[in-house]
Chains A and B, each alone.
Chain A
């Protein structure tokens, strides 16, 4: 059983936190993940900074730009994850864009990720059909999980298709939005979450986009196995003088 599967089996109200590798400072990645795990976060999603992150809003985009300026790259991220794995046992996902994977060499990317202790991937612009044709076998043979997004516009038929090709969990995009859009969860969104729950899917679900605090996290947990916080956490790191303290304070307000 994969680390991700085990987490869903053993835990409820799963909190998955996104961070941008190499942000705010080049070497902060390791410490941030350690602190997140120590403070009760169940899973982390490490962003591989990309120059043109289409699905992301200004917060994650700016953090990516800073991280690239800080000198981060995939090889260094793999090194950081290797170091994290000495002390941290929660699932680690890599989130990024397909072009980075292509330039690294996709097969090599998946193998290297496996060897340093990555559990799964979120690559929003990797089309499902291309994944199925070119990478599914490889990813499955390595025992890794590929997570796909579903949105309020995804048809039932397509949700079922995505569910059948992905593993780990489904990333339920809460609304029409890019990351970092902030507002309360509306009734129409709750109806949408309920609708998803009634389809009968094999994968558990985490709700993301617009989850920023305790209130939105708790609401999301009523309708899915947990939720993902990204931009709100990145914002809290902006200009932080004491990373440990900042992480602790942020997570305490959510859990």
Chain B
């Protein structure tokens, strides 16, 4: 089985570019150029240089001693939360901004849900002195005020998406509309492994640094370059794509994707796309998505804004359908409990998104000799308001 994208832009049955003609030229331009540019020595040198000096990579692979004792196994945390701007998102924005510059684009647009990708985009735009417009759902603007302030301080314009559910899905629609209206000057910097080809592949490549580093770090710590399990949360799926990337062809590694069950998959307040979704088209990609029988895309729910998305990247839909990936879910409550646990055991306050991955330890089976890597995709600063509300219950 092949888990990489084919030359038509598909992962098995999923992917492709289902876009109006107005975007054909832009996507074609990107498709024709992205591999050549990002594989060039000159690009790689600048990309790696910035990841090291500016982002602070490599991020540690930390052996979580007390967490391991509690579960009687070996848990390693890949510390993406220690990246500049506080999450893995910056790996991708650094890569895409360097690509945009080489394509002579002067204006950068992006969508954001929790604001992490928006902040990471505004950051690299400040760094490269490029105009930056971030689309964000009106509701998310209200619930993620600190990140909105960060984006503004970094010089970005934050435009509210006022249509539909006024969240990430609608911010993405607005960004696509902006791109349709400004195809020549503008680069659309997508934040996850979603959207039309070549975005899912491009974003996965930029995030693949996560599993590349893991391999070297695991050799040093365990004597072999792969773990028994890699666990990551999945909304669109960019941190999971990065954490799985170099292990997809190694069948000895179990790839565990944790979706946001929200209030539970038996309710309609969930974002567990592979569990409740069906095949269809969202944001230019054929994948699994949450929709009704008439093909109207439905509103997801998760306590974590970064997982509050009704689709999943086509790579993950393929990993799910082919059986290569194990897909499980964690509810809002289970994620909160996991967040409090790791804070108390390891002194690390995780992002709510990453807390879903941590919650998997309660749900999967493992032996005491196994090595498990959990991708700690982001830090919890942005979620303090939610955590404070929960404090009385803990």
Contacts and interface: CB of A to CB of B under 8 A. Distances in A.
Interface of A: 50-52, 54-55, 57-58, 61-62, 65, 68, 73-74, 97-104, 124-127, 130, 148-151, 153-155, 158, 162, 173, 176-178, 181
A147 to B, nearest CB: 11
Interface string B271-306: 000000011111110000001011111100000000
A54 B176 contact: yes
A130 B16 contact: yes
A26 to B, nearest CB: 15
A52 B177 contact: no
Contacts of B281: 97-99, 102, 125
B6 interface: no
Contact of A154 (B25, B291, B294): B25
Interface in B1-48: 16-22, 24-26
A54 B177 contact: yes
Interface in B174-205: 176-177, 180-184
A127 B282 contact: no
A176 B184 contact: yes
Contact of B21 (A68, A124, A177): A124
Contact of A177 (B169, B181, B284): B181
A103 B297 CA distance: 11
A127 B294 CA distance: 21
A55 B21 CA distance: 9
Contacts of B177: 54, 57, 178
Given A58-B163, A61-B163, A50 B295 contact: yes
B173 interface: yes
B181 A181 contact: yes
Contacts of A62: 163
A121 to B, nearest CB: 14
B164 interface: yes
Interface in B291-348: 291, 293-298
Contacts, number: 106
A104 B18 contact: no
Nearest to B163: A61
A55 B18 contact: no
B164 A52 contact: yes
Q: Among the interface residues A50, A101, A127, which one has the most CB atoms of the partner chain B within 10 A?
A: A127
Interface residues on B, range: 35 or more
A54 B278 CA distance: 20
A103 B17 contact: no
Contacts of B18: 98, 125-127, 130
A162 B282 CA distance: 24
Interface in B234-285: 278-284
A34 B180 CA distance: 33
B181 A124 contact: no
A46 to B, nearest CB: 16
A154 B183 CA distance: 12
A121 B173 CA distance: 23
Choose among A52, A127, A173 the residue with the greatest number of B CB atoms under 10 Å from its CB.
A52
30 contacts: A51-B298, A52-B173, A52-B282, A52-B283, A54-B173, A54-B176, A54-B180, A54-B284, A55-B180, A74-B294, A98-B18, A100-B294, A100-B295, A101-B295, A102-B295, A104-B294, A125-B20, A127-B16, A130-B16, A148-B21, A151-B22, A151-B24, A153-B25, A153-B26, A154-B25, A162-B21, A176-B183, A176-B184, A178-B180, A178-B181
B295 A103 contact: yes
A123 to B, nearest CB: 10
Nearest to A62: B163
A163 to B, nearest CB: 13
A52 B21 contact: no
A145 to B, nearest CB: 17
B169 A52 contact: yes
B13 to A, nearest CB: 12
A154 B24 contact: yes
Contacts of B278: 103
A3 to B, nearest CB: 24
Nearest to A73: B294
Given A54-B20, A103-B280, A103-B294, A65 B181 contact: no
